[in-house]
């Protein structure tokens, strides 16, 4: 039986069923998109002030102006690392690639955090008293 | 004919198909409504307005922008209403009427004015008069904008007019009366907190189940954020350099209020001495002993007024009073040392940088 024959042999009920199945699968896609967590972001702060908010999906290299000079942050394959830093101990560079968590360069006051946007919201305060 | 023969069976199939389609639609529809419920995502809406001579920010959690904004606007008008009643500078306010008739006659006032006066008397009693709303005649001698320190003699003269015991309120007749001529009530130390309480009540009446009202540093939180966490409040570092929001500690709150009184708020330095607005009602001079006092309890009117009262009492007496009241508190004394009530340890997260 060829495709035309197959289509001809369907009843209205079959077609409605097919249509409904397509609808169901589409709504499933929307459902998953809404419910599953969104991708991680790379949050870069200098002296406690956010300077970059980058998606981890896009590979790039950014230069961050810290209190001692420029820190170079590289994002590649959903991972982040510091490649250059003006600090003495270079601990931040030694830490290498991270997928989650943070890299802190205390001398240059640069903080790189990888997390979901919701995590970042929790870090900030909702109001200040005083 | 063949057709005639088959009349009955197709009709039955048709009927079955209809049922089948109906069932499918029911299943599909219920799936969609279920998804609809799940997708009614709650968002955080925030609006600010200048009221009571300060910045009022209201944050609410709601699934609809319209109802969120409506609730916030209703809460703003509630605060505006209170501002009209309690304004020290407006001659038409109920407060001004009481002040004008000091030593002359009692004044009929609204429920809100009665309530707030009742609360000021309560806090005055509990702080042994350290918080005193009748400080009006002395505080007006100071000019914090022109940085003018009053003469010692004029402070002494006005000090006899400061005594909360001369404020009489009659709940049955809904009246208030200041016994001595020249007395003045200043509700600046409690009205912002009271307004925050009322704003939260208004939001709840408008079916908001979670939110945050901050009238300057007087903050009241209720419910939880959309992520299920309590509201996070930062406590300002009293010796922050510059105007930046330098925070010394954070605390998570729900269904609780917090207020902070600091010597940095309305103040000036004269001859190396800091003059601020938290005056000791006994001396008429700025209280010494604390840099900042933060109070945490259910009612924002109390956190506001007690923050002032405890500041004036000083760190040692202050902590004792808070323990007696069952309130939580963080006090930074004049040496920069931090004092806390026992229950608060673990709830407050201090930052190492300060």
Nearest chain B Cα distance for residue A60, angstroms:
31
The predicted structure's pLDDT at residue B15? 64
Q: What is the dihedral of CA B226, B229, B231, B234, to 10 degrees?
A: -130
Q: What is the mean pLDDT of residues A2-30?
A: 83
Contact state of A23 with B28 under an 8 Å Cβ cutoff: yes
CATH of the domain at B286: 3.10.520.10
Contact B354, B246 (CB under 8 A): yes
The full set of domain ranges for chain A reads: 3-35, 41-123
Q: What is the mean pLDDT of residues B190-199?
A: 98
Which tokens hold the place of B20? 């089948």
* Interface ipTM > 0.85: no
Contact B206, B195 (CB under 8 A): no
pLDDT band at B2 (very low <50, low <70, confident <90, very high): very low
The predicted structure's pLDDT at residue B347? 84
Tens digit of each residue's pLDDT (9 = 90 or more) over B242-268:
444 578 899 999 999 999 999 988 888
Name chain B contacts of A129, Cβ cutoff 8 Å. 214, 217-219, 233-236, 258-260, 294
Nearest to A82 by CA among A59, A120, A60, A112: A112
Query: How many domains, chain B?
Result: 2
A20 sits in which H/E element: helix A12-35
Task: Quote the CA–CA distance of B284 and B156 in Å, as a whole number.
Answer: 8
Q: What is the mean pLDDT of residues B290-318?
A: 97
pLDDT band at B353 (very low <50, low <70, confident <90, very high): very low
- Report the phi/psi class of residue B342: left, alpha or beta, with left for phi > 0 and alpha for psi in -120 to 50: alpha
The predicted structure's pLDDT at residue B254? 94
For residue B17, pLDDT beyond 90: no
CATH class of A41-123: mainly beta
Q: Which residue out of B222, B228, B233 would a mutagenesis test of the A interface target, given it has the greatest number of A Cβ atoms within 10 Å?
A: B233
Tens digit of each residue's pLDDT (9 = 90 or more) over B266-277:
888 888 888 899
* Residue B69 neighbours by CB distance under 10 Å: 14
pLDDT band at A123 (very low <50, low <70, confident <90, very high): low
Helical H segments across chain B, by residue range: 2-6, 8-39, 65-86, 94-100, 111-126, 136-139, 152-159, 191-205, 300-313, 315-325
Tens digit of each residue's pLDDT (9 = 90 or more) over B133-185:
999 999 999 988 788 889 999 999 999 999 999 999 999 999 999 999 999 99
- Domain annotation covers residue B23: yes
- A19 close to B (CB below 8 A): no
Largest CA distance in chain A: 80
- Domain annotation covers residue B308: yes
Q: What is the mean pLDDT of residues A99-115?
A: 83
- Domain annotation covers residue B66: no
Contact state of A17 with B24 under an 8 Å Cβ cutoff: yes
User: Between A13, A30, A129, which is nearest B235 by CB?
Assistant: A129
3-class DSSP state for residue A124?
coil
Domain holding B15, by residue range, is 2-39
- Domain annotation covers residue B201: no
Task: Quote the CA–CA distance of B350 and B266 in Å, as a whole number.
Answer: 25
Which tokens hold the place of B253? 């709150």
Residue B60 CA neighbour count, 13 Å, CB half: 29
Task: Quote the CA–CA distance of A56 and A59 in Å, as a whole number.
Answer: 7
Comparison of pLDDT for B189 and A113, the residue scoring more = B189
Q: How many residues does chain A have?
A: 130
For residue A38, pLDDT beyond 80: no
CA pseudo-torsion sign B138, B144, B145, B146: positive
Tens digit of each residue's pLDDT (9 = 90 or more) over B37-47:
444 688 999 88
- Domain annotation covers residue B198: no
Asked whether the whole model's pTM tops 0.80, one would answer no
Pairs of residues, one from chain A and one from chain B, whose beta carbons lie less than 8 Å apart? 79
For residue B331, pLDDT beyond 80: yes
User: Between B39, B212, B217, which is nearest A130 by CB?
Assistant: B217
Task: Quote the CA–CA distance of B105 and B333 in Å, as a whole number.
Answer: 42
Q: What is the dihedral of CA A121, B200, B124, B308, to 10 degrees?
A: 30
The predicted structure's pLDDT at residue A102? 80
């Amino acid at each position: 039986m060829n495709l035309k024959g197959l289509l001809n042999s369907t009843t209205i009920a079959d077609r409605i069923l097919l249509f409904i199945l397509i609808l169901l699968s589409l709504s499933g896609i929307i459902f998953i998109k809404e419910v599953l967590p969104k991708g991680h972001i790379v949050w870069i702060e200098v002296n406690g002030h956010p300077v970059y908010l980058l998606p981890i999906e896009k590979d790039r290299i950014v230069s961050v102006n810290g209190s001692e000079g420029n820190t170079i942050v590289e994002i590649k394959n959903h991972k982040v690392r510091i490649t250059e830093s003006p600090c003495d101990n270079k601990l931040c560079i030694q830490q290498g690639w991270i997928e989650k968590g943070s890299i802190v360069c205390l001398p240059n006051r640069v903080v790189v955090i990888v997390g979901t946007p919701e995590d970042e919201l929790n870090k900030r305060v909702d109001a200040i008293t005083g | 004919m063949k057709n005639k023969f088959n009349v009955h069976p197709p009709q039955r199939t048709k009927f079955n198909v209809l049922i089948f389609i109906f069932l499918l639609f029911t299943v599909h529809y219920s799936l969609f409504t279920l998804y609809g419920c799940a997708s009614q995502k709650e968002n955080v809406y925030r609006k600010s307005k200048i009221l009571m001579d300060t910045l009022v920010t209201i944050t609410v959690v709601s699934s609809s922008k319209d109802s969120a904004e409506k609730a916030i606007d209703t809460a703003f008008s509630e605060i505006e209403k209170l501002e009209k009643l309690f304004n020290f500078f407006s001659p038409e306010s109920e407060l001004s009427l009481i002040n004008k008739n000091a030593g002359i006659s009692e004044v009929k006032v609204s429920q809100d004015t009665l309530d707030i006066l009742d609360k000021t008397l309560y806090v005055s009693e509990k702080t042994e008069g350290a918080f005193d709303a009748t400080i009006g005649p002395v505080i007006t001698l100071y000019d914090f904008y022109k940085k003018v320190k009053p003469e010692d003699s004029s402070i002494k003269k006005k000090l006899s007019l400061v005594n909360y015991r001369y404020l009489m309120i009659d709940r049955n007749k809904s009246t208030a009366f200041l016994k001595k001529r020249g007395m003045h009530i200043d509700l600046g130390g409690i009205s912002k907190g009271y307004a925050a309480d009322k704003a939260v009540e208004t939001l709840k009446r408008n079916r908001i189940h979670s939110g945050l009202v901050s009238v300057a540093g007087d903050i009241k939180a209720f419910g939880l954020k959309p992520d299920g966490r309590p509201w996070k409040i930062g406590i300002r570092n009293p010796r922050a350099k510059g105007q930046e929001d330098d925070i010394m500690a954070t605390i998570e709150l729900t269904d609780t209020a917090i207020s902070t009184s600091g010597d940095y708020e309305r103040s000036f330095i004269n001859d190396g001495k800091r003059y601020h607005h938290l005056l000791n009602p006994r001396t008429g001079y700025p209280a010494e002993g604390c840099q900042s006092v933060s109070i945490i309890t259910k009612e924002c009117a109390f956190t506001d007024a007690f923050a002032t009262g405890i500041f004036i009492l000083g760190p040692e007496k202050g902590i004792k009073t808070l323990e007696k009241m069952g309130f939580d508190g963080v006090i930074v004394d004049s040496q920069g040392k931090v004092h806390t009530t026992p229950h608060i340890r673990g709830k407050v997260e201090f930052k190492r940088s300060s």
